[in-house]
Amino acid sequence: MGLITLLVFPIPTFLVLYFWEEIPPVEVFQLEKFDVIPVGYGLQFGFIYAIFALLLLRSSVFDGLPKNIEHIVRSMKLSIFDSLFLSLCAGIGEELLFRSGFQYYFDPFLVSIFFIAIHGYFNPMSWRMSLYGLILLPFIVLISYGYYEFGLWFSISAHFMYDFVVFMSIRK
């Protein structure tokens, strides 16, 4: 699944931006903006927000939250390497699709809502899951707008770190 996210998700972004906007795929990666500072900000932001979200999830409000994701992650018996790999794949693949792709044409706030929705966090059948989606929404909105200020690598590193912290906390 990680490889599909890493290799397939960016394809629509590369194709659309190349054929409609004449932006070569190598430019989509914003390699000129790859720098320690935005990556460091992204790693810090992802770490802090993951801890914040995990602390909120321990609240009794979330006691009835379906544990599907936790169960799936635990059943995969992820090693630290697996957690790193899947987090990198999601960070790179999804941010190329959403920040570099969708966000090129659509408002960052709308893209953020769409991002949360397709992950299943806005669920009309579970108000607790929707509440979790509302907790995640500011994180996604901030990395969406952070994309403009700090570049793609900020968004990738924040997404990566958030997922990695969550995977590490669930795999225990």
**Neighbouring residues of 105: CB distance < 8 A, sequence distance ≥ 6:** none
Q: Which tens digit of pLDDT belongs to each residue from 131-161?
A: 999 999 999 999 999 999 999 999 999 999 9
E strands present in 79-161: none
Q: Which tens digit of pLDDT belongs to each residue from 27-82?
A: 999 999 999 999 999 999 999 999 999 999 888 887 777 665 666 677 788 899 99
Q: Long-range contacts: 132-139, Cβ < 8 Å, 24+?
A: 132/53, 132/57, 132/62, 132/65, 135/53, 135/56, 136/53, 137/112, 137/113, 139/49, 139/53
Helix (H, G, I), strand (E, B) or coil at 21: helix
**Neighbouring residues of 8: CB distance < 8 A, sequence distance ≥ 6:** 93
Domain extents in the chain: 2-171
pTM (2 d.p.): 0.94
Crossing angle of helices 36-57 and 127-150, rounded to 10°:
170
> What DSSP state is assigned to residue 24?
-
For the chain, the straight-line distance linking the first and the last C-alpha, in angstroms and rounded, comes to 21
The average pLDDT across 94-99 equals 98
pLDDT of residue 148: 97
pLDDT of residue 172: 63
Residue 25 has pLDDT above 80, yes or no: yes
Contact assessment for residue 133 and residue 116, using Cβ atoms and an 8 Å cutoff: yes
Measure the CA–CA gap between 148 and 33, rounded to whole angstroms: 11
User: In this structure, what token pair is assigned to residue 145?
Assistant: 């707008």
